[in-house]
Amino acid sequence: MMDYCKGFARYLEQEKHVSSNTLDSYQRDAAHFLLFLNENGVEDPAAATAADVESYVAYLSAQRKSGATVTRCIASIRSFYQYLIGEGCASENPARAVKLEKPEKKLPQILSGKEVELLLSQPNPKEPKGCRDKAMLELLYATGIRSSELVELNVGDIDLRSSVLVCSRGRNGERRIPVHSTAIAAVSDYVCRVRSAILSPDGGQALFTNLNGRRLTRQGFWKIVKGYAEQAGIVKEITPHTLRHSFALHLLENGADLKDIQLMLGHADISSTQIYVHLLNDHFKEVYNSCHPRAKLG
């Protein structure tokens, strides 16, 4: 079982070039499915049937997993069997025939311009931790990169002189994203004053490290964002992805072309970017209904 998991991880990383976030999720999902099979008397995953996968779906539902989580798990299992078939270890993909209801897509939470300013003003740049946190939050909102991409950045990925970030992680190739002067100033301050002071030998080329000098994790960054949101008194449910969504909507709101936003976000398909058009339309409706004198009469 462990050999299958290790091989699957190599397949995802070297052939599919998935992000670290997807790699972690798919590995975990596949390992959990294999454990489920084993506990139900199926020791060889090649012997699993569509009925076994459906039983696993029922098990996940009984565990009160969300529709989105179940859908991701099935996608992981399908990918796992694609790997096995490619290796000659299986002849069929039992997850392919399993039909799932499409989970209802929730519109992402968006911060207003004032809320973004409030959040970005929370870290104290005079302190080492605050200086690092300020740089991370400013860079995330300035570029719209994923939190997983942020923590994977190396020092050489940002050109402070030309104000350009090179994001080369993930399966969609390299992206060169302009960075505005405020974010560049925050990152420069961190690199010059703090990074070298806290970097440990284990930190390598990592741009952002924890206070022990090792590369910061995605989970560690999530806790940082949550802490500052609570400190700022922002009642919306905020995740690191909230700044990415806010970056995209604010650009669109101020006249940016959807295709340019797609390239900056690294979306393979523009349909993923079009959600921000719906968000913008909803925002304009809300403004209209709350501000137009005739609309108020209704």
Note the pLDDT tens digit of each residue in 79-117.
Answer: 999 999 998 888 889 998 887 766 566 666 788 889 999
DSSP 187-219: HHHHIIIIIHHH--GGGTTBSSB-TTSSBPPHH
> How many Å separate Cα 160 from the centre of its chain?
24
Answer whether residue 13 is part of any domain: yes
Question: Rounded to the nearest 5°, which phi and psi values hold at 178?
Answer: -65, 150
- Indicate whether 77 and 38 sit together in one domain: yes
74 and 129 in a single domain? The answer is no
Domain of residue 206, CATH code: 1.10.443.10
Q: Is residue 59 part of a domain?
A: yes
User: Taking residues 116-143, what's their average pLDDT?
Assistant: 94
- Of 7-16, 217-226, 240-249, which has the strongest mean pLDDT? 217-226
CATH of the domain at 72: 1.10.150.130
Say whether both 67 and 143 belong to one domain: no
> Average pLDDT, stretch 5-11?
87
Do 157 and 121 lie in a common domain?
yes
Q: Residue 154 in 3-state DSSP?
A: strand
- Shared-domain flag, residues 199 and 136: yes
pLDDT beyond 70 at 155 = yes
* pLDDT band, very low/low/confident/very high, at 289 (cuts 50, 70, 90): low
- Final residue in a domain of this structure, among 47, 71, 86: 86
**Global pTM exceeds 0.85:** no
Classify residue 132: in a domain, yes or no. yes
Structural domain includes residue 105: no
Task: Kindly provide the b/e burial profile for residues 206-222, where b requires at least 16 CB atoms within 10 angstroms of the residue's own CB.
Answer: bbbbbeebbbbebeebb
Distances (CA, A) of 179 to 129, 136, 239: 22, 12, 21
Q: Are 120 and 232 in a shared domain? A: yes
Same domain, 148 and 232: yes
Nearest to 123 by CA among 186, 172, 74, 69: 186
For residue 16, the tally of other CB atoms under 10 A from its CB is 14
Q: Hey, CA dihedral for 198, 144, 70, 3, is it positive or negative?
A: negative
Q: How far apart are CA 179 and CA 163, in angstroms?
A: 5
The reported pLDDT for the residue numbered 1 is: 55
241 or 122, which is more confident?
Answer: 122
Same domain, 79 and 172: no
How high is the pLDDT of residue 127? 94
Give the pLDDT score at 288. Answer: 41
Q: Would you say residue 244 lies in a domain?
A: no
Q: Which domain holds residue 9?
A: 2-86
Task: Please give the average per-residue pLDDT across 16-25, as a whole number.
Answer: 83
292: pLDDT confidence band, cut at 50, 70 and 90?
A: very low
A 10 A CB-CB count for 277 gives 12
> Do 151 and 216 form a contact (C-beta atoms < 8 A)?
yes
Region at 170 (left for phi over 0; alpha for psi -120 to 50; beta for the rest): left
How far the first Cα of the chain sits from its last, in Å, is 63
Res. 283 pLDDT band, cuts 50 70 90: low
> Which residues 6+ apart lie within 8 Å of 26 measured at CB?
8, 12, 18, 75, 76, 79, 80
pLDDT in tens, 166-197: 987 555 567 888 999 999 999 999 999 999 89
Digit-coded pLDDT (tens) for 226-259: 999 999 998 888 887 888 888 888 888 788 887 8
What percent of the chain is modeled with pLDDT above 70? 88
Structural domain contains residue 166: yes
pLDDT at 218 over 90: no
Instruction: Please tell me the predicted confidence (pLDDT) of residue 294.
Output: 44
Of 38, 69, 86, the position where a domain reaches its end is 86
Output the average pLDDT for the chain: 84
- Do 160 and 50 lie in one domain? The reply is no
Residue 62 sits in the same domain as residue 138:
no
When divided into structural domains, the chain yields a total of: 2
In a domain, 65, yes or no: yes
Q: How far is CA 271 from CA 167, 274, 278, in A?
A: 21, 5, 11
Whether the per-residue pLDDT at 43 is higher than 90: the answer is no
Contact indicator for 157, 151 with CB cutoff of 8 Å: no
Q: Output the CA–CA distances (angstroms, integers) from residue 26 to 9, 73, 266, in the order listed.
A: 8, 7, 20
Is residue 260 a part of any domain in this protein? no
